[in-house]
């Protein structure tokens, strides 16, 4: 089981690396790791389990955050229409994106960052993501709202990018299109 002590914190160089593609088909070990990452998100969102193990709730997790520099992400997020997006993907890629931007009202946080870093993080309003799931099936997702923001945050981790890198230093609260409300 993944716990908070397994989370690599900001300042560790692995969070700044470009993660390597997973050679497909993924190994049993890689599949187990990715499954564990999704389970961590489920646990972190279960109040009883989160309390028992001291987990911070998370809607996404990227393998570099547990010290594995491979292109694997898990996402467990609910949108404003109560649709649940539960995904564990190898080699996720943004195939295409809108010109329109958005940002999460109140800013973003990260399990690898303890402090609150204020500011709006520009994101694409809509993205199409491809990847390979735990069954080895190729998936293609069209996303908007919080799920789109979450996938962009996670895919950024695979490229060594932290959310605060995208905050405008001169004008942290400038806006980008219509906000996603929390
Ligand atoms: C706000 C939070 C997240 C994504 C987008 C907006 C995820 C936080 C958990 N993570 O640090 C995952 O990398
Ligand atoms: Ni993060």
Give 33's pLDDT tier (boundaries 50, 70, 90). very high
Q: What is the pLDDT of residue 39?
A: 98
Nearest CA to ligand 1 atom 13: 61
Please state the rounded mean pLDDT for residues 89-113: 98
Regarding the beta carbon of 148 and ligand 1, being less than 6 Å apart is answered: no
Domain count, the chain: 1
Mean pLDDT of the chain: 98
pLDDT digit string, tens, across residues 114-169: 999 999 999 999 999 999 999 999 999 999 999 999 999 999 999 999 999 999 99
pLDDT band at 105 (very low <50, low <70, confident <90, very high): very high
Range of the domain at 13: 4-180
62 CB under 6 A from ligand 1?
Answer: yes
Distance from the CA of 151 to the center of ligand 2, in angstroms?
A: 10
Which is the closest atom of ligand 1 to the Cα of 149?
A: 5
Give me the pLDDT at residue 96, please.
99
Pocket test for ligand 1, best of 144, 150, 161, 167 (most atoms within 8 A of CB): 150
CATH number of the domain bearing residue 88: 3.90.45.10
pLDDT band, very low/low/confident/very high, at 2 (cuts 50, 70, 90): very high
Residues ≥6 apart with Cβ < 8 Å to 28: none
Residue 26: strand pairing partners: none
Sorted by sequence, the CB contacts under 8 Å of residue 68 that are 6+ apart come out as 33
Handedness of CA 152, 155, 160, 162 (dihedral sign): positive
Q: Which residue has the tokens 């229409």?
A: 81
Structure tokens, 137: 């099936």
Strand order in the sheet with 138-144: 60-62, 72-78, 84-97, 126-132, 138-144
pLDDT per position as a tens digit, 44-87? 999 999 999 999 999 999 999 999 999 999 999 999 999 999 99
Instruction: Give the per-residue pLDDT at 128.
Output: 99
The two structure tokens encoding residue 125: 């309003």
For residue 152, the model assigns a pLDDT of 99
User: Does residue 33's CB lie within 6 angstroms of at least one atom of ligand 1?
Assistant: no
For residue 26, give Cα distances in angstroms to 18, 127, 133, 138: 19, 25, 10, 13
Q: Considering only CA atoms, which residue is closest to atom 6 of ligand 1?
A: 108
Exposed / middle / buried, residue 102 (Cβ in 10 Å: 0-12, 13-18, 19+): buried
Rounded CA-CA distance 149/41 in Å is 16
Q: What is the reported pLDDT for 86?
A: 98
- Binding site residues for Fe cation, as ranges? 110, 153, 157
Confidence at 30, pLDDT banded by 50, 70, 90: very high
154 is catalytic: yes
Within the chain, strands assigned E span: 60-62, 72-78, 84-97, 101-104, 123-124, 126-132, 138-144, 178-180
Show binding-site residues: 110, 153, 157
């Amino acid at each position: 089981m993944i716990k908070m002590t397994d989370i690599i914190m900001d300042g560790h160089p692995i969070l700044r690396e470009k993660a390597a593609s997973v050679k497909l088909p993924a190994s049993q070990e890689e599949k187990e790791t990715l499954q564990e990452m999704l389970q961590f998100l489920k646990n972190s969102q279960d109040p009883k389990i989160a309390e028992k193990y001291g987990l911070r709730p998370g809607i996404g997790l990227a393998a570099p955050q547990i010290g594995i520099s491979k292109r694997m992400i898990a996402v467990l997020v609910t949108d404003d229409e109560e649709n649940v997006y539960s995904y564990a993907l190898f080699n996720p890629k943004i195939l295409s994106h809108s010109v329109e931007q958005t940002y999460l009202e109140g800013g973003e946080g990260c399990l690898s960052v303890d402090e609150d870093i204020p500011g709006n993080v520009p994101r694409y309003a809509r993205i199409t993501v491809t990847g390979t799931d735990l069954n080895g099936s190729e998936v293609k997702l069209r996303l908007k709202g919080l799920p789109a923001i979450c996938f962009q945050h996670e895919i950024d981790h695979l490229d060594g990018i932290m959310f605060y890198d995208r905050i405008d230093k001169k004008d942290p609260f400038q806006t980008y299109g219509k906000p996603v409300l929390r």
